[in-house]
Structure 1
Amino acid sequence: MKTTFYISLLLAGLHAVAHGQLPPNHHNGHDPNEPKHHMHHAGEAIACLKLVPNNADFAFQFFKEVILEVPNKNIFFSPVSISTAFAMLALGARSTTQTQILEGLSFNLTEMQEKEIQEGFHNLIHMLSHPESKVQLNMVNAIFLTEKLKPLKKFLDDAKALYQLEAFTTDFNNPREAEKQINDYVERKTHGKITNLVKDMDPQTVMLLGSFVFFKGNWEKSFKPEHTEEREFFVDAETTVKVPMMHQTGRFDFYFDEDLSCTVVRLHYNGSATAFLVLPAKGKMKQLEQTLVKETIQEWSDHLFKRLLSLYFPKFSISGSYEITNMLSKMGIVDVFTDQADLSGITGTPDLKVSKAVHKASLDVDERGTEAAAATAAEIMTMSLPPAIEFNRPFLMLIFDRDTNSTLFIGKIVNPTITS
C-alpha cells in the first residue's frame, strides 16, 4: 500500500484589463528592437527556449483533455504551472515513473535528457519571474512534509536550487492545523486570491506539493469605465445573459482565420505578456477546440495586421478548479498515481504515490489599466465607422510571455456571468 501524497497545483489571480492602442506588430511575438530584459544570459535563454515547443504541445493537449472532462463550461488553467510542478516531481521519480512524467509533459527523451529538461525549467522560472519585467508574474513552489517523512537531502537541495522550493514541516495527524498552515501560506503567496484551498484533508497524507503562479498584468491602455454598458452575451442557442460590455475604438492587431472561421485580436500588456482573444464564428467552437495546436498560434502571429476596430469585450471574473489526475493519466502519466509509483528519489524508499492532483485558477478582466505614454497622442480616425467586433458569444483567451514564448494561461469563456 503506497503512502498518500497530494499534489496541489495552484494558480492565483490573473488580473487582466482591457486595452486599445498597440505597439508595432511583432513577428512571432517578438519585436526585434525591443530590449530583452535578461536575454543577455545566452545560455539561460537557450536552455529555456528549448522547452518551449514541448511545453506548448503539452498545453494544447491538456486543453483538449480538460474540454472532454468539462464540456460546454468555462475553463481557465495555467499549463506552465502544471508542467513545472510535475517536472519538479520528476526530480524524485525513478525508472518508468520518471519516464512517463517527462514523456507525458511532451518531452522526447531521445532528444533531450532529464538534466537538460530540469535546467530548462530552472531558467524558465528565473526568466518569467524577472523583476525588470513590467508584468508581475511570481512562480512559487512549496512542499509540506510530515515530521516522520525524511526527504533525501539531495532531493531538497536540487529542488531548492532548480525550483526555488520552500519546504515546511506539517503535522498532518492534526488535519485542521495542517489545513490552516497550508491555506494561510497559499493565501499570503497568492495575494489573497486563493483562500481555503485545502479542506477535509486525509490524516494519512504525508506530503503536499504545491506549485502556483501569481500573475498581474495591465494593458497598455485601459478601457474607459464610462464606455462600459450592459449588453447581451449569447451563451448558446437557448441561453442569453446580460454582461457589462467594455468598449473602445482603436487600431488593433487583427486576423481572420478562414480555415478555422475565427476572428483573432491580439492585445499586449505592459511588459512581456500578450493575449490572443479568439472569437469563433457561430457553431465553430468545437472545430477550433479540436484542432488548436501551437502551429495555429504561430500562423496567427505571422498574419496579424493593424486594423481600426470598434472592440466590445466583456468585463468578467471566472475561476477553474480541476482534479487533473484522470486527464494526466490519459496523457501517459499513469504509474505515479498507482502502487506502481517509484518516487524513491524523494525519500529513498519506493513507498510513495500521488493520490490527488488539483489545479486551481482564476481570471479577472475589467477596465483598469495603465496608460502608455503614446496614449496621449491624438488618434486620427476616418469619418466612416470602423467595423465592430463584439465578444458576445463563447471565446478563447490565451496569454503568452513574449520573451520566452511560454503559454502562461489558456481560457475558454462560455458564460462570463458564472464565476466558478
Structure 2
Amino acid sequence: MKKIAIISALLPLAAGLCGAAGKKPADDAVARANGIAFKFYAAEAQKPGNVFFSPYSMYTAFAMAYEGAAGSTAKEIASVFSFPAKTKDLRAGLGAIKKDLERAAKDAEFVQANSFWAQKDFKFLPAYLKTLRSAYGADAMQADFLGKTEAARRGINAWTENKTRGKIRELFPQGSLDQLTRLVLVNAVYFKGRWKAPFKKEMTSEADFTLDGGTKTRVHMMAAPGTREAEYGETGELQAVRLPYAGGGLSMLVLLPKEGRTLADLERSFSPEKLEEIRKGLFNQKVKVFLPRFKFSSGYKLNGALAGLGMPEAFTDKADFSGMEKGKRLYIQTAFHKAFVEVSEEGTEAAAATGVAMGLKSMVMDFAVFRADRPFMFFIEDPKSGLVLFMGRMQNPAAQ
C-alpha cells in the first residue's frame, strides 16, 4: 500500500507562523492547520502501508465548506479542523499562511489554487459565493450536474490535473457525482523543489531496506560524497535530520527510529508537542545522509474518516449548510483526497488535491550517520512558521 502526495478538493455538496515576540495571524493559524495532520495521520497509521497527504490542502478545502455551515454542523467541522469560531479569523489566518508559503517557496515551483463548481440556476446565497471568490481566490465555475454530470466531473478533474502538473488525476472517480450534486469545492497544491545540497546520481546504489517484521527489500539508496552541514538531532528513540530545499524556505524533516525501535513505537507517542520538541533539538553539524529514492501516490475517501474524527452530521440529512443556500437542502455527499510524492537525487515533487461534493439530501564519531534503511516519518514544512505542508510515512520505498 502507499500514501504520499497531497491534493485537496472539497467534494460536491448534494442538495438535501510563529514569532516568539508578538503573535501574528499566521501563528495561531499554523497551529490550527497542523491539527488535522496529527488526527488524520493517527487514523491512517493504524493501517499497513505508506502514508502521504497534505493537511494544508484538506484544511483549506474544508474551510470553504465551513464558510457555509451553521449550527451543530459548523461546530462539528470546527472541532475536527480546529477552525476558529469566527470565519473572519479563519480567513485572516489562511491569508497569512498563504503569504508565508509564497515567501518560503519563492525558489521552488509552487502552486496553490481553489475552485468551486456550482450548479447552474441553483440559488446559492450571493454572499457565500462572493466569499469563495474574494477571500479564497477561488475560480468560479458553472456546471450542469443535473443534465451533464459526467462532463462536469471530467471538467473538475481536468482543472485539478492542470493545477497539479498532471500528478493528481481522477480526483473524483466515475460515479462519485450524480444528478443531485449541486456544488463541488476543490483545493489543489503542487510543489517541486531542488535540494540545497543534491545527492549524486552516480552514488545511488541498491541497498537493503528493513521492513516492519524484519523482512528486507532492495531499494535505490541515495548518497553524496563526504558529509554535509545539516540540522541534526537525536533522542533515545530517534534520529532527525532536516534537508533544506534551494532557497532555504522549505525543507524535508525526516524522523528515523533508532536501531531496535520501530516506527510504530514512535507513532504511539507522537504529537504536535513532540514534533516541536524534536525541532528545537536540531543543531547544525556534519552528517552523512543516506535516503532511499521513492515515488508513490495515495488516495482517500474522507467521509468515514472525518465522521469518525467527530463530524458525522455533515454527511447526513441533518446537515446544516444554510450559509450556502436558504433551504438547508445541502449535505456533503462525498469527499476525496489524493496525493503524489517523488523523492530523487535532485529534489522532491509533491502534489495533493481535496475534493468535497455537496448534494441535495435524499552512532559516536566526528560526524553523525543518518541511514534511512528502515521505515521513517517525513514532513515537508516551513521551518520558520512551523506549517506542515505535507506529511508522510515511508514503510516500503519499493511500493508504487
Shift in alpha-carbon separation, 1:29–1:398, aligned structure 2, 3 A: farther
Equivalent runs, 1:272-283 vs 2, <5 Å: 272-281=249-258, 282-283=260-261
1:79 pairs, out of 55, 70, 76, with: 55
Cα distance in 1 between the residues matched to 2:128 and 2:83: 22
Q: 1:307 to 1:128 in 2, by over 3 A?
A: closer
In the alignment of these two chains, the number of paired residues is 365
Percent identity of the aligned residues?
30
Matches within 5 A, 1:4-403: 10=7, 46-68=24-46, 71-107=47-83, 109=85, 113-130=86-103, 133-172=106-145, 173-201=147-175, 202-204=177-179, 205-237=181-213, 239-248=215-224, 249-258=227-236, 261-271=237-247, 272-281=249-258, 282-369=260-347, 386-403=367-384
Give the aligned residue type for 2:379: L
* Cα shift at 1:386: 4.6
TM-score normalized by structure 2?
0.84
How far apart, in 1, do the equivalents of 2:45 and 2:347 lie? Answer: 31
Are the equivalent residues in 1 in contact too, given 2:64–2:185 (CA < 8 A)? no
Name the SS of the counterpart of 1:358 in structure 2: strand
Deviations 1:284-329 (A, max 9, x none): 3112112211211221222112332321100110211011222212
- Note the C-alpha offset of 1:239: 3.0
SS at match of 1:344: coil
Residue 64 of structure 1 deviates from its aligned partner by 0.6
**Secondary structure of 2:278's partner?**
helix
8 Å contact 2:219–2:397 — kept in the other structure?
yes
Q: Note closer, same or farther for the CA distance 1:327–1:97 as it changes in structure 2 (3 Å cut).
A: same
Shift of 1:59: 1.7
TM-superposed deviation, 1:29: 9.2
Q: Is the 8 A contact 1:235 1:241 kept in 2?
A: yes
- Decide whether aligned partners of structure 1 residues 193 and 11 sit closer, same or farther in structure 2, where only a CA change above 3 A counts: farther
Q: CA deviation at 1:146?
A: 1.8
Helix, strand or coil at the partner of 2:229: strand
Superposed displacement of residue 86, structure 1? 1.1
- In structure 2, C-alpha distance between the alignment counterparts of 1:116 and 1:66, rounded to whole Å: 30
Structure 2: gaps of 5 or more residues = 1-5, 10-16, 349-364
Distance (Å, rounded) in 1 between the aligned partners of 2:119 and 2:84: 35
- The runs of 4+ residues in structure 1 deviating greater than 4 Å are 384-387
Where is the strand percentage greater, Structure 1 or Structure 2? Answer: 2
Q: 1:199 to 1:175 in 2, by over 3 A?
A: farther
1:20 corresponds to: none
Matched position secondary structure for 2:297: strand
* Separation of aligned partners in 1, 2:104 and 2:244: 18
| CA 1:117–1:251: 2 relative to 1, 3 Å | same
Q: Contact 1:183–1:196 (CA<8 Å) still a contact in 2? A: yes
Deviation at 1:53, TM superposition (A): 1.9
For 2:35 and 2:294, the matched residues in 1 are separated by 28
| Aligned-residue RMSD, C-alpha | 2.6
TM-score, length of structure 1 as denominator length: 0.80
Contact persistence 1:257–1:263 (CA under 8 A)? yes
Structure 2 CA distance for aligned equivalents of residues 218 and 147 of structure 1: 43
User: 2-side partners of 1:338 and 1:265: how far apart?
Assistant: 44
Structure 1: which 5+ runs fail to align?
Answer: 1-8, 13-27, 33-41, 371-383
1:415 to 392, 396, 399: 396
SS of match in other structure, 1:81:
helix
1:239-286 per-residue CA deviation (whole Å, 9 max, x = no partner) reads 32211110123232211121xx11111111123112211111344311
**Is the contact made by 1:11 and 1:214 (CA closer than 8 Å) also made in structure 2?**
no
